[in-house]
């Protein structure tokens, strides 16, 4: 089983960290068979599983349910649970209690979004033994503040603020930081500045690792495909083809045949 210290060791050894999301036991097992180092139970499930337009309505109960499924199946990968909107913003106490609940259902770490405003949460969680992954750049829970899913940190003051946020998260004890939708050179500078690993998504090739949403990577989700997504398969097309063939064969009496029937 991958541990948080082992995960961090990858950066020191110059080895890339590969992370993908998963939301259920079936895919958690497949992801592990591929030798992926860490599984993020992302609140992206609000969009790709629940069909919402953003992640804001995902609840603690939703996240605990999916984390339990993934953690119950995973045997090798580090399981990181995403803290949903309003589960850590209200107070440090509430944030620590909610983070702890993820460890109780089997996650080894939690992830939360933001810089300076969450530094005290990260510090408190770390102090109580809860490993925390930070998340900077285009943080989806702030989509309304950005006015859409837009690249962040293009202007110099914003880029400098992101570097300061990254340093503050590291000092507070974060064990790694996701960098989402920021210019590649900024991700490079942050990666060089920090001793903890950076995990990029739309942040160029210089991060210590990469993360993608599983359904994007597999070509299952096509309602919104950001520039940074590379589909490594086309499972939606495959699924459609299979379902159409099944329908056609039943209609034409070609399925089931003797070989699918009991005698
Ligand atoms: O919710 C999620 O899946 C994420 C990743 C895209 C980093 O936060």
Q: Which of 211, 214, 217, 230 to mutate to test the pocket of ligand 1 (most atoms within 8 A of CB)?
A: 211
In this structure, the answer to whether residues 215 and 250 fall within a common structural domain is: no
DSSP assigned state of 141: G
In this structure, the answer to whether residues 158 and 259 fall within a common structural domain is: no
In this structure, the answer to whether residues 143 and 260 fall within a common structural domain is: no
Q: Please give the distance, rounded to the nearest whole angstrom, from the Cα atom of residue 257 to the centre of ligand 1.
A: 44
pLDDT of residue 154: 97
> Whole-prediction pTM value?
0.98
What CATH code is carried by the domain that includes residue 149?
3.20.20.60
Quote the distance between the C-alpha of residue 74 and its chain's center. 15
In this structure, the answer to whether residues 165 and 201 fall within a common structural domain is: yes
Task: Give the count of domains, the chain.
Answer: 2
Q: What percentage of residues in the chain have a pLDDT greater than 70? A: 100
Q: Which of 55, 107, 111 to mutate to test the pocket of ligand 1 (most atoms within 8 A of CB)?
A: 111
In this structure, the answer to whether residues 35 and 62 fall within a common structural domain is: yes
At residue 68, the 3 state secondary structure works out as helix
User: Of all protein residues, whose CA lies closest to atom 5 belonging to ligand 1?
Assistant: 42
In this structure, the answer to whether residues 194 and 262 fall within a common structural domain is: no
Long-range contacts of 166-171 (CB under 8 A, 24+ apart): 166/115, 166/134, 166/136, 166/190, 166/193, 166/194, 166/198, 167/193, 167/194, 168/115, 168/116, 168/119, 169/115, 169/118, 169/119, 169/122, 169/134, 169/136, 170/194, 170/195, 170/196, 171/119
pLDDT of residue 92: 98
HSE-CB for 109 with a 13 A CA cutoff? 26
Q: Which residues line ligand 1 (CB under 6 A)?
A: 21, 40, 42-44, 82, 178, 180, 201, 211, 213
pLDDT of residue 21: 98
Question: Cα-flanking dihedrals φ and ψ of residue 195, to 5°?
Answer: -95, -20
In this structure, the answer to whether residues 156 and 191 fall within a common structural domain is: yes
Cα separation, 140 vs 99, whole angstroms: 19
Mean pLDDT of the residues in the chain: 98
In this structure, the answer to whether residues 257 and 214 fall within a common structural domain is: no
Q: Please give the distance, rounded to the nearest whole angstrom, from the Cα atom of residue 248 to the centre of ligand 1.
A: 38
In this structure, the answer to whether residues 173 and 257 fall within a common structural domain is: no
In this structure, the answer to whether residues 76 and 148 fall within a common structural domain is: yes
User: Of all protein residues, whose CA lies closest to atom 2 belonging to ligand 1?
Assistant: 42
pLDDT of residue 119: 98
State which residues of the chain have pLDDT below 50: none
In this structure, the answer to whether residues 222 and 246 fall within a common structural domain is: no
Instruction: Please report the sign of the dihedral spanned by the C-alpha atoms of residue 192, residue 174, residue 38, residue 61.
Output: negative
pLDDT of residue 127: 98
Which residues have a catalytic role annotated? 180
In this structure, the answer to whether residues 151 and 247 fall within a common structural domain is: no
Range of the domain at 258: 235-263
pLDDT of residue 57: 98
């Amino acid at each position: 089983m991958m541990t948080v210290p082992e995960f961090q060791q990858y950066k020191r050894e110059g080895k890339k960290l590969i992370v993908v999301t998963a939301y259920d036991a079936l895919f958690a097992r497949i992801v592990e068979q591929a030798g992926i180092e860490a599984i993020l139970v992302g609140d992206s499930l609000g969009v790709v599983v629940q069909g919402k337009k953003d992640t804001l309505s995902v609840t603690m109960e939703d996240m605990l349910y999916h984390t339990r499924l993934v953690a119950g199946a995973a045997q090798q990968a580090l399981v990181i649970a995403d803290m949903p909107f309003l589960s850590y913003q209200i107070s440090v106490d509430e944030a620590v209690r909610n983070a702890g609940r993820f460890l109780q259902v089997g996650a080894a770490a939690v992830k939360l979004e933001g810089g300076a405003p969450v530094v005290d949460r990260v510090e408190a969680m770390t102090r109580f033994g809860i490993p925390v992954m930070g998340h900077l750049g285009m943080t989806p829970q702030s989509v309304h503040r950005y006015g859409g899913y837009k690249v962040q940190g293009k202007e110099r003051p914003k880029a400098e603020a992101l570097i300061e946020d990254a340093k503050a998260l590291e000092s507070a004890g974060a064990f790694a930081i996701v960098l989402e939708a920021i210019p590649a050179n900024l991700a490079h500078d942050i990666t060089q500045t920090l001793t903890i690993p950076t995990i990029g998504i739309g942040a160029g090739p210089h991060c210590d690792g990469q993360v993608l949403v599983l359904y994007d990577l597999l070509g299952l989700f096509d309602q919104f495909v950001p520039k940074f997504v590379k589909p490594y398969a086309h499972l939606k097309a495959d699924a459609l083809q299979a379902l159409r063939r099944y329908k056609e064969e039943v209609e034409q009496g070609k399925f089931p045949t003797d070989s699918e029937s009991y005698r």
